[in-house]
Structure 1
Amino acid sequence: MTHVFIAGFQHETNTFAPSLADWEAFNRGDAFPAYIRGEAMQTQFTGVNIPVGGFIDAAKRHGWKLWPSVWAGASPSSFVTREAFERIASDLLHDLAQALAQGVNAVYLDLHGAAVAEHADDAEGELLSRVRARIGENIPLVASLDLHANVTRRMLDVADALVAYRTYPHVDMAETGERAAQLLKRRMQLGRRQAVAAHRLPYLISLNAQSTWTPPAQGIFAAMDDIDRSQQSLVSFCMNSSGGCWAMAQPDKPNAMDTMVKKCLR
């Protein structure tokens, strides 16, 4: 039986903003649910349009047992304080150690992908690395991301799979969690890590022109379903107005990334 450890850390950092995301900000949540831990996650997030909600729904359909840990979100602001990041990471890793002792054999993280802590420029990469160090190389680690994630090489190296929203405004958050479950299921069936292809695209666009309801982004994201079907892969495209764009795929066919890049650049 698949036993999945689940947790979430959501913060979109603007390092020029005046206010920090401290521990109290995560406890309030504000635009996000307040800090939550343990089984209450399943009750609060089942059927809710956020990634972990979609993952929970998919996990129930697959018959997986879930081990909820923490879900922490704070409104966009400046740096996540060292104290807040370390308390969240400490709670998560403490729960993970207990879950591993009880037979957890997979991990899913609901991340934003654009968090910067006072002591960690790549906050999600740091968190993913700590989780990977705890679980070893053989346990699958899958994460979902915001479409505006700052994808780093560290994140790509550590995770078995990363999958991002396909809409802006973000209306497919739960669907993204379901896609993460799909990738995790594939990884469990294979019994090994699948190759991850990633390419940084020469595509930079201002935030107010990024809507997936209108060109040019509309065409890029409309092509993804076709690529999924034709290449038997699951592709993602992250477009950050400051950090550039990443195209990512887990291809069953070797030309899936090449196909995606060509379509994105048309």
Structure 2
Amino acid sequence: MKSPRIAILGFAIESNRFAPVATRADFVSRAYLRDTALLADARSDAPVMTPEIPAFVRTMDTIRPWTPVPILFANAESGGPVEHEFFTDTLREFEQRLRAALPLDAVYICEHGAAITTEENDPDGVVFTLVRRVVGAAVPIVATVDLHANVSDRMVDAVDTLVSYRRNPHTDMAERGADAARILTELVDGMRTAVAHVRMPVCAPPTQLLTAPGTGPYAEMIRRAEALDDPRIVNVSIVGGFAFADTPKNGLTVLVTTRGDAPLAAQIANDLASYAWQERAAFTPRLTPAEDAVRLAKITSDDPSRAPLLLADVADNPGGGGRGNTPFVLKALLEHEVRGAILGVVTDPELAADAHAAGTGQAFHARFNRAETTAYSEPFEAPARVLRLHAGKGVGRRGQLAGCSFDLGPSAALQVGGVTVIVISKRHQCHEPMFFEMFGIDIARARVVVLKSRGHFRAAFDEFFSDAQIISVDAPGLTSPILSRFDFKGMPRPVVPLDNIATWTPKARTVLPGSNAIG
């Protein structure tokens, strides 16, 4: 086969059961790309889509002649359950465009893997199964998912290989897209897979799923997987899961794909899961109370001989469905008269509009969250001065957003007491230095930096802060790592760290070549 026809599609969002519903507008404002527009963005110098598809396309271009068949890619910032009608509309479009594109030689699916809708707990499984039904049992399908995906049996059954990220922060998205291209090429040429997977009774908060060496058992599982050297192995993916989706498929999942060797796949999956189970106590988070964190910030702001601090407002992470506007840490900084601090990014389109109306250099009365009525988005008022205004568009320079376009909407840098606050219009996790630097702010000169981010900032702000200078703050929010604060109803129980479980033995489920579901 000289030029295989390979379809590309995806529906990518991480859904927090406790956050407001995600709508069509949330996807359109980030990335909703069809046909030639999808391929053009993938091949652009600064794509708006996540890096997997661009890397897949670039890698396929180097491997062999091929015919890309771009279908549709929909991506939104992490949010609440997706409006089900919008999801079904997208499904219909997937099916119509796939059928119109037949015959196909292969399909690449790029998903996040932790979506839910207002009516469906496993939209990713629905997408995967739809694709399999349309293209048939013989057509190879490879899917990539986020490290925080929740993996269902039907997701595994519907594809030949499922590949997840290995790095948290997610600096390897492009590498995994390239992996998908290489695996799919091998499948097109006749390779057949065997897959084993085991889902553990572990629903760790995202703060416990970092992958830097020495950060815990999750990092060690990935290190052990990467150390395996066996030509029979196609891929090992250790998928941490996303607890806030609150679904029956929640749970840390080990997936092993081999070149037809089911016993080997099962053995590796069970061994990795057994190790993690022995170390399960480490999946319980330890945070610094907000009062203690702000007290340390005050000491640091008053003593220039001390190393600067970074406070991570992990409970209000837009990258996990947080609204990016809780006022608790900002209010505490002002009450303690902390100086030389910068805080970002606060999502408040009405406040950003007020700042633009006032103009650079002007003082005005800032009213935070006057239009937001969701949990923890408490109204807050303070005198402010507009330092600088910006349209909010740029290109990331480090970490997860490096080389990618972003659009924060009309944005403003405000001086509120001793704190410079960055206010944006389009909700986004603060994991990119350019979110400050586009206002002319020198991050290295700040005494205290507060980020509304859970952990992805570590890949970009490491040029300013060592791990010893970073404090994860225990404050209220929709992404608090203290899972006992949430009313979980769909999550399988018992699970670590919410429950005490004395014993558990892994038993991998195996999918043999040719058994993929098409129903």
TM-score by shorter chain over 0.5: yes
Shift in Å, 1:73: 0.7
Provide the residue aligned with 2:233 in structure 1. Answer: 232
TM-score by length of 2: 0.47
Larger displacement relative to structure 2 (49-58 or 171-180): 49-58
- 1:114-167 per-residue CA deviation (whole Å, 9 max, x = no partner) reads 101122210010111111111111111211011111100111111111110001
Structure number with greater Rg is 2
CA 1:228 to 1:158, structure 2 compared with 1: closer, same or farther past 3 Å?
farther
Runs ≥4 residues deviating over 4 A:
228-231
State which of 43, 59, 79 in structure 2 corresponds to 1:77.
Answer: 79
Residue 250 (str. 1) matches residue 249 (str. 2) = no
In the TM superposition, 1:112-127 aligns within 5 A as: 112-127=112-127
Structure 2: how far apart are the matches of 1:97 and 1:149?
27
SS of the equivalent of 2:10 reads strand
Provide the residue aligned with 2:499 in structure 1. Answer: none
Q: Which runs of 5+ in 2 are unaligned?
A: 244-249, 276-519
- 1:195-240 per-residue CA deviation (whole Å, 9 max, x = no partner) reads 2111123544332121101222221112222225465331111012
Provide the residue aligned with 1:41 in structure 2. Answer: 38
Residue 205 (str. 1) matches residue 204 (str. 2) = yes
The residue identity in structure 2 corresponding to 1:187 is L
Structure 1: how far apart are the matches of 2:251 and 2:13?
19
Provide the residue aligned with 1:60 in structure 2. Answer: 61
In the TM superposition, 1:165-244 aligns within 5 A as: 165-190=165-190, 193-213=192-212, 214-227=215-228, 229=230, 231-242=232-243, 243-244=250-251
CA 1:169 to 1:26, structure 2 compared with 1: closer, same or farther past 3 Å?
same
Residue 262 (str. 1) matches residue 264 (str. 2) = no
Structure 1: how far apart are the matches of 2:205 and 2:128?
29
The residue identity in structure 2 corresponding to 1:209 is Q
CA 1:132 to 1:230, structure 2 compared with 1: closer, same or farther past 3 Å?
closer
Q: CA contact under 8 A between 1:59 and 1:65: conserved in structure 2? A: no
Structure 2: how far apart are the matches of 1:82 and 1:135?
24
Structure 2: how far apart are the matches of 1:204 and 1:261?
18
Provide the residue aligned with 2:21 in structure 1. Answer: 20
Provide the residue aligned with 2:439 in structure 1. Answer: none
Structure 2: how far apart are the matches of 1:263 and 1:133?
32
Q: CA contact under 8 A between 1:251 and 1:257: conserved in structure 2? A: no
- The alignment yields a C-alpha RMSD, in angstroms, of 1.9
Shift in Å, 1:261: 3.5
CA 1:95 to 1:22, structure 2 compared with 1: closer, same or farther past 3 Å?
same
Residues paired across the two proteins, number: 258
Shift in Å, 1:263: 4.1
Structure (1 or 2) with the greater helix fraction: 1
Provide the residue aligned with 1:50 in structure 2. Answer: 51
The residue identity in structure 1 corresponding to 2:39 is Q
- 1:31-75 per-residue CA deviation (whole Å, 9 max, x = no partner) reads xxx211112222212366621122111111122210011111111
CA 1:89 to 1:122, structure 2 compared with 1: closer, same or farther past 3 Å?
same
The residue identity in structure 2 corresponding to 1:99 is A
SS of the equivalent of 2:86 reads helix
Provide the residue aligned with 1:151 in structure 2. Answer: 151
Q: Which runs of 5+ in 1 are unaligned?
A: none
CA 1:162 to 1:228, structure 2 compared with 1: closer, same or farther past 3 Å?
farther
Shift in Å, 1:265: 3.5
- 1:96-115 per-residue CA deviation (whole Å, 9 max, x = no partner) reads 11210xx3211111011110
CA 1:224 to 1:64, structure 2 compared with 1: closer, same or farther past 3 Å?
farther
The residue identity in structure 1 corresponding to 2:126 is E
Shift in Å, 1:172: 0.5
Larger displacement relative to structure 2 (150-159 or 205-214): 205-214
Structure 2: how far apart are the matches of 1:201 and 1:105?
35
Structure 2: how far apart are the matches of 1:117 and 1:65?
33
Shift in Å, 1:82: 1.6
SS of the equivalent of 1:137 reads coil
Aligned sequence identity (%): 30
Q: CA contact under 8 A between 1:79 and 1:116: conserved in structure 2? A: yes
